[in-house]
Structure 1
Amino acid sequence: MRAPTLALLLPLLCLCRVSFCQYSSDQCSWRGSGLTHEGHARDVEQVYLRCSQGSLDWLYPTGAIIVNLRPNTVSPAFARLSVCIKPSTNSRGTNIYLDLNGKLRLLLREEQQTLGKVQCFNIQEGALFIEAVAHLDISRRITSFQYELVNGRLGPDGHSLDGPCQPCSNPAMLLAVCTSDFVARGSIKKVEQEEEHSSVTVEISHLYRQKTKVFVSGGVRVRSWNGHIKMPLQCGVKSGEGEFLFTGTVRFGEAWMGCAPRYKDFLKLYHEAQQQGTNPCHMDTD
């Protein structure tokens, strides 16, 4: 039997090295170990993630990895995509940079990651370059974060740059019913000013849709839901009487307010658009 030639062995060796280093990966999340870089501290591995949300866990980081975040499809709205990452509060062992054509810009230092604060940037600002910080003991070092791709221009703190405190136009209100992560009718019970945002406590009488369970049922016999919706602190939101139609986005399991007209005003607008045939989608208003 002929011995395998070097030309046949080389691809197999390369495949084994990649498989060993990137030992758990899919289109959305990646989990790897820096121990495979031991003795190769200058190694840089490429990681490709192609989902709208997922996670990364890098155990015992050594060397560096480049994380390329891309949606499954490229559309004209690609330039308006923002990437948000939320480090775990026990994330440590690396500094995180943005890498644009070889030029690095610091995004998060090792000690900043433990705060668990959301950090956002435009997808065209580059890939994530995650570099291990030299430590004598790497046994307790794990870099871990969740990520989400968000349609729209966001500031570093995750707040919209498209006039987050401006009242929605009539077309925007109608479109919000079709495209929001949650749509609910209810009332404002309390507004609390927290360190970086306002938290609006709401009671929901009619839940049309929610992407994740940001509103919790009040019980089998009580047809109502309760929850909290966040808003930028600078918007100065206050409690108001009557019913509102709450719409918005869900980021890392938290609801953020979008358009929130008074329900009676929305109902009038919706019926007028219905008569004119200009509604972008149907909504049960009974």
Structure 2
Amino acid sequence: MLTPMLASLLPLLLLCRISFCQYSSDQCSWKGSGLTHEGHTRDVEQVYLRCSQGSLEWLYPTGAIIVNLRPNTISPVAARLSVCIKPSTDSSGTNIYLDRNGKLRLLLREQDQAQGKVHCFSIQEGALFIEAIPHMDIRRRITAFQYELVSDRLRVEAESLSAPCQPCSNTDMLLAVCTSDFVARGSIKKVDQEEDHSSVTVELSRLYRQKIQVFVSGGVRVRSWTGHINMPLQCGVRSGEGEFLFTGTVRFGEAWMGCAPRYKDFLRLYHEAQLQGNNPCQVDTD
């Protein structure tokens, strides 16, 4: 059921679609304030973002904004993308809906945003309709979230970050080396239990690839890297002896563990596949 305010905004929403609406000058991120609205509680503003990742920050939200998230290229693949958003833990002041051709579906209530959990949906499900909640007091409120456009495969991974761990098959391990956001060889130094996940401190002797800088170099003369990799609590990871091959994804600037076989086991598997001509990609194992 639509709120009274939302019902009153729908005619304006339709008018906004056929008339001039304000656009974001930044193609990746948007920051605005409800205090700039002349009509305040009845204004609807269009925001267009055209990047694979970015952020939104709406101070003193009033009225509503429609956030259109699209890739900067037009291709058949773009239609199969998903959008993942991660609200800030202090995000408040609005309810977030999915708007498809004027039909609204509730995605996140105000209280849901404070959990800071990742929520994903197909890009075909529509734009984000962010509706300000009327408040009597003038306390400062901010609606803020990060977003990423991902493939359907990565959407499943993003939504299952808190799901129980599944062991990787031999094929999974070999593919992980080719397709992961980061690939590194190293050891586990410490495991800290956070509220909803484990944070694994690792020291790396070899860094094959990282999508963004989640691992920091020890210096020019020290060929080692350190960093943290997140894992679901259910994995029960522990610090221990030996070297591992760490692979995984980077979600919202944080590394999440994928396949992590012991390095000696991966080496054996890799050489066996190499003899059979079954390796999906080459890795420098020297």
TM range (shorter): 0.7 to 0.9
The match for 2:200 is 200
**Contact 1:82–1:120 at 8 Å: present in 2 too?**
no
The letter for the 2-side match of 1:159 is S
Aligned partner of residue 189 in structure 2, secondary structure: strand
The match for 2:120 is 121
1:106 matched to 2:106? The reply is: yes
Cα separation, partners in 2 of 1:56 and 1:256, compared to 1, 3 Å: same
The match for 1:165 is 165
**Contact 2:92–2:114 at 8 Å: present in 1 too?**
yes
Q: Give the gaps of 5 or more residues in structure 2.
A: 1-16
- Normalising by structure 2, we get a TM-score of 0.79
1:220 matched to 2:229? The reply is: no
Mean CA deviation greater in 206-215 or 39-48: 39-48
1:276 matched to 2:276? The reply is: yes
Equivalenced residue count is: 267
CA deviation vs aligned residue, 1:115-145 (integer Å, no higher than 9, x gap): 5x13212325543220011135668333222
**Contact 2:185–2:206 at 8 Å: present in 1 too?**
yes
The match for 1:264 is 264
Q: Structure 2 matches for 1:226-245, cutoff 5 A?
A: 226-245=226-245
Q: CA deviation at 1:96?
A: 1.5
Q: CA deviation at 1:177?
A: 1.3
Cα separation, partners in 2 of 1:111 and 1:157, compared to 1, 3 Å: farther
**Contact 1:32–1:58 at 8 Å: present in 2 too?**
yes
Cα separation, partners in 2 of 1:230 and 1:109, compared to 1, 3 Å: same
Q: CA deviation at 1:70?
A: 3.1
Q: CA deviation at 1:255?
A: 0.6
Q: CA deviation at 1:37?
A: 3.7
Q: 2:158 & 2:267 partners in 1: Cα distance?
A: 34
**Contact 2:182–2:247 at 8 Å: present in 1 too?**
yes
CA deviation vs aligned residue, 1:258-286 (integer Å, no higher than 9, x gap): 11111111112222222333322221111
The letter for the 1-side match of 2:204 is I
User: Percent identity, aligned pairs only?
Assistant: 75
- Normalising by structure 1, we get a TM-score of 0.79
The match for 2:23 is 22
Q: CA deviation at 1:55?
A: 1.0
Mean CA deviation greater in 55-64 or 250-259: 55-64
Q: 1:111 & 1:167 partners in 2: Cα distance?
A: 35
Q: CA deviation at 1:201?
A: 1.6
The letter for the 2-side match of 1:22 is Y
Q: 1:126 & 1:185 partners in 2: Cα distance?
A: 41
Q: CA deviation at 1:17?
A: 5.1
Q: 1:47 & 1:39 partners in 2: Cα distance?
A: 18
Q: Which has the larger radius of gyration?
A: 1
The match for 1:10 is none
The match for 2:58 is 58
Aligned partner of residue 172 in structure 2, secondary structure: helix
Cα separation, partners in 2 of 1:45 and 1:135, compared to 1, 3 Å: same
Q: 1:15 & 1:34 partners in 2: Cα distance?
A: 22
Q: 2:267 & 2:205 partners in 1: Cα distance?
A: 16
**Contact 1:86–1:145 at 8 Å: present in 2 too?**
yes
